[in-house]
């Protein structure tokens, strides 16, 4: 089992006890440091008190279960307004929303395309960009994230 899946399995009930939703678990290397990040969501938004309470509740569980042998930094944070969409449920939840699709290779000279999410099936993302409907294959897409328009 992947570290992130294992951590999610015991973090989810703790997060839900604090009236939040577990959005994502990330374990990444940045420079010479490793980070374990828990991303939260909540109706009305996540605040610093939510992050602190969940961090304090998860600390002893992480110590007990010891899912990562090397040293790492543990962070609990909001998923944010411009969060990445990763799972099929994320795409369903935000259908019709403004997004940015980041591509591995430019298409029509662009690697980042501001658009509206219109469909998602088997990793293929269908969007509306201007008056054009485009479907991107999973292999073309580096990242899809929500886009906040002001």
Token pair 């944010």: residue: 80
The rounded distance, in Å, linking the Cα atoms of 37 and 124 is 27
Residue 74 in contact with residue 36, Cβ under 8 Å?
yes
Query: Would you say residue 12 has pLDDT above 90?
Result: yes
Going from the C-alpha of 26 to that of each of 2, 37, 107, the distances in angstroms are 11, 5, 29
Can you tell me the mean pLDDT for 121-126? 95
> Which two three-digit tokens encode residue 135?
């479907």
The predicted pLDDT at position 150 comes to 78
Can you tell me the mean pLDDT for 32-49? 95
Those residues with Cβ within 8 angstroms of residue 143's Cβ, 6 or more apart along the chain or in another chain: 84, 101, 102
* pLDDT band with cut points at 50, 70 and 90 for residue 9: very high
CATH fold of 3-78 reads GMP Synthetase; Chain A, domain 3 (3.30.300)
71-122 pLDDT, tens digit each: 999 999 999 999 999 999 999 999 999 999 999 999 989 999 999 999 999 9
CATH number of 88-146: 2.30.30.100
User: Domain limits of the chain?
Assistant: 3-78, 88-146
pTM of the model: 0.82
């Amino acid at each position: 089992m992947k570290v992130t899946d294992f951590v999610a399995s015991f973090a989810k009930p703790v997060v839900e006890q604090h009236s939040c939703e577990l959005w994502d678990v990330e374990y990444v290397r940045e420079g010479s440091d490793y980070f374990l990040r828990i991303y939260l969501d909540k109706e009305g938004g996540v605040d610093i008190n939510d992050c602190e309470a969940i961090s304090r509740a998860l600390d002893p569980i992480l110590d007990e279960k010891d899912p990562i042998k090397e040293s790492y930094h543990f962070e609990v944070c909001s998923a944010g307004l411009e969060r990445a969409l990763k799972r099929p449920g994320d795409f369903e939840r935000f259908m019709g929303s403004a997004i940015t699709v980041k591509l591995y290779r430019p298409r029509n000279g662009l690697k980042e395309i501001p658009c509206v999410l219109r469909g998602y099936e088997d990793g293929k993302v269908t969007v509306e960009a201007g008056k054009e409907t485009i479907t991107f294959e999973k292999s073309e897409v580096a990242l899809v994230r929500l886009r906040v328009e002001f």
